[in-house]
Chain A
Amino acid sequence: MLKATLKKKLTAFDLEVSLEVEKAFPLVIVGENGAGKTTVLNLLTGLVPPDEGRVELNGKIFCDTARGFHLAPEHREIGYVFQDAALFSHLTVYENVAFGLRARRVPDREVEHRVREMLHRFGIWDLAASRPGKLSGGQKQQVALARALVTKPRLLLLDEAMAALDYRNRREVRNDLRFFLKDENCITLLVTHQPLEAMAFGEKVAVLEQGKIVQLGAREELLRRPRTPYVAELMGVNFFQGRVVARASDGLCEVRTENGILHLLAEEGREDVFIAVDPREITLHTSAPSGTAQNVFEGAILELLPEPPLGERVRVVLGTHPSIVAEVTIHAVRTLALREGISVYASFKATAARSYN
C-alpha cells in the first residue's frame, strides 16, 4: 500500500494531493499537461522534496516533513519509466537493463541471470547487444520497462510511458506490463493526459486539475458520474450542474443551471445536482423541434468527427452554451445535410438525463 499526502507550492498553483494505492488496483492519474502530474511523481521519487507531507510504502517511510526525514531517491526502490524511454544511449540493451543491478552491487553472476531472464520475458533477448539508437519506439519502451522491473521495484511509476507508442505497440507493451505485474509484488501508478490510456490501463482513476485531485474512483464511476466539466470532457459526456427549483408529482423536475432551465427526472434528496447526458441521447434537428423533447439548445456545428471503426457514427460538436456533443449515425448526417458552420437544434428528453449528487 502506498500512502502519500503531499503539498508543494508551484509557480502557477499549489499542489495538494493525497493518494492511497493498493497493489491489486493500479492507479491512473489523468490530467492536462501542466496539471502537476510529473511533480507528483517527482515528489514520490524524492527528486523534489515536498513543502509538507508524508510518503509511506508498505510501512516503509520515504519522507516525513513533520520529522524532517527524507530518504534519498536511490534508496527508495522505485521503477520509473518515461515517455521517451530515457535509455542510456552509450550502453547496450543488456547493459541498460543491468544498470540498476550493477548500481546496487549485485554479484556479476546474478546480474547475468536476472538480465537474461528479464530480456527473455519481454521477448527482446535478440536485442541484448544492440544500442538503443537502433531500436524502434516499442522496443525502446520494452527495454525501459525491463530495466525498471529487473530491480524488483516496490513502486512502479509510469510517466506517460505509453504515449509515444503507436496504437499496436501500445497494446503490446500494455499487455506485457499487465502480464508481468500479475505476479510481482509491485504497486503501480501511471500518469497520462490521454483519457483513452487511462481507461485502458486502470480500474481506478484519479483526475488531477490545477494540482488537486478533483475526482477519484473506478473508471465506470467516472464515466457515469463526472463531477467537474473537465472530467466530463475527458469522458466524452455532456455535463451540467444545477439546482432543482420545481418538482412535479410524477418526478419531473425543473433544474436551474447557468445556461437556463433543464427538465429532467430526479429523485428526491439533495437539491444541488450534477447532470450527465450521453452523446447518443442527443437528437439533432434542422428546425425547432416540437413534441416530447424537453430540453432544446441551438448552436452552430463546430466539428464533425467520424467515430472508429467504420465511421458509422459521427460525433458532432456544437457551439451551444455549454458546448454539447452529440453522437449520431452517418445516415442522420446525410439526411439532415449536416456540415460544419450550419446552425442546428440539439435536444434530449427528460428521461435521457442522469442526475446525481
Chain B
Amino acid sequence: MSEPLSPRTPLSLLRTFPGFWSLSLILGAAIIPIFLCLPLLSLFVQVPFTELAKRISSPVVLNALRLSLLTSFSSAVIIVVFGLPTAYFFATSEFPGKRALEVLMNLPMVLPPTVAGLGLLLAFGRSGLVGGWLARMGWSIPFSTVAVVLAQLFVATPFFVNAARSGFEAVDPHLLKAASSLGASPFYCFLRIVLPLSSRSLAVGMAMAWARSLGEFGATITFAGNLPGVTQTMPLAVYMAMQSDLQAAVALSVLLLIVSFGILMALRTRVFLGPR
C-alpha cells in the first residue's frame, strides 16, 4: 500500500493548503456525519436509563431480539453459502441474457419492501406458484419464522452478491494463470487465492446483507405478519410499541442500536486486521 498523499488531520490539511479548498472540504465533509448522528443521539438522550434494564428484560422484547438475531444470522449464512457460487459464476462467466438477469437480480434492492412482500406471498403463499405445491405436501410458509428468513433473503442477497462479485472481479487474472500453471486446480485456486484476496469485499458484503436483514420491516410484515415470538422481529416490535408506549419503543431502538453497532464494529475490526 502506498502512503496517502494528502495530510491526515484537518489541522495539517489547513496548514499545507490554507484557503478556500481546505475550508470548504472540511465544512462539506462535516454535514453528513452530523446529520447521520443526530437521530441516533436523540434516541440516547430520550432513553429512560433507570427503566431501560426492566424494559429490555420483558419477554416481548427478549423474544423479538432473539428472533431478530436468529433470523438475520440464518439469512446471512444462507446468503453467503448460495451467494458465493452465484457471485463467482457471474464474475467469471459470460452467457446470453447475463446483463438482463443481473438487473433483475438487483431489483429487490430498489423495490419497495411491501411490494417484495406481496411478491413473496404470491410465490410462496398457500395459493402461490410454489406455495400451492408446498401446501399439498403439508408445508405452509407464510406467517412462520421461515417466512421471516425468506423475506430477509429476498431483500438482502443482492447486497452480498454485488460486493462479492466486485471483489472477485478485482482479483488479477494473472494470479489465477500463475496458480494453475503451478498445479492448482480451479477449486484450490478459489480457496487459496480468490477467497483470501477478496476477503474485504466479502466481509463488507456480508455486513451489508446482515444489516439489511436485521432492519427488514416491510416485506416481513406483508409476508410473515406480526406474531410475537414467531414473526415479530425487533423492527416490528418497535413499530408496535410506538402505537402504545413511546418510551418502550425508544428502549427497543436503543437496544437494537447497541447490538448493531457492536456487530458492525467487530466485523470492521476483523476486516482491517485481515490480509491486504
Contacts and interface: CB of A to CB of B under 8 A. Distances in A.
Interface in B179-208: 179-185, 188, 192-193, 196-197
Given A82-B174, A90-B276, A103 B179 contact: yes
Size category of the B interface is: 20 to 34
Contacts of B172: 86
Interface in A73-111: 73-80, 82, 84, 86, 88-90, 99-100, 103-104
A75 B181 CA distance: 8
A45 interface: yes
Contacts of A284: none
A338 to B, nearest CB: 45
Contact of B182 (A72, A90, A148, A157): A148
From B175, B180, B181, name the one whose CB has the most chain A CB atoms within 10 angstroms.
B181
A89 B181 contact: no
A83 to B, nearest CB: 9
Contacts of B276: 89-90, 133
- Residue among B172, B174, B193 with most chain A CB within 10 A: B174
Contacts of B180: 45, 47, 73-74
B100 interface: no
Contacts of B179: 88, 99, 103
A151 B183 contact: yes
A74 B186 CA distance: 9
A147 interface: yes
Given A89-B276, A90-B276, A133-B1, A103 B183 contact: yes
A133 B276 CA distance: 10
8 contacts: A78-B181, A80-B181, A82-B178, A84-B174, A86-B174, A99-B182, A100-B182, A100-B184
A243 B180 CA distance: 51
B182 A103 contact: yes
A99 B174 contact: no
Given A90-B196, A90-B275, A45 B177 contact: yes
A100 B197 contact: no
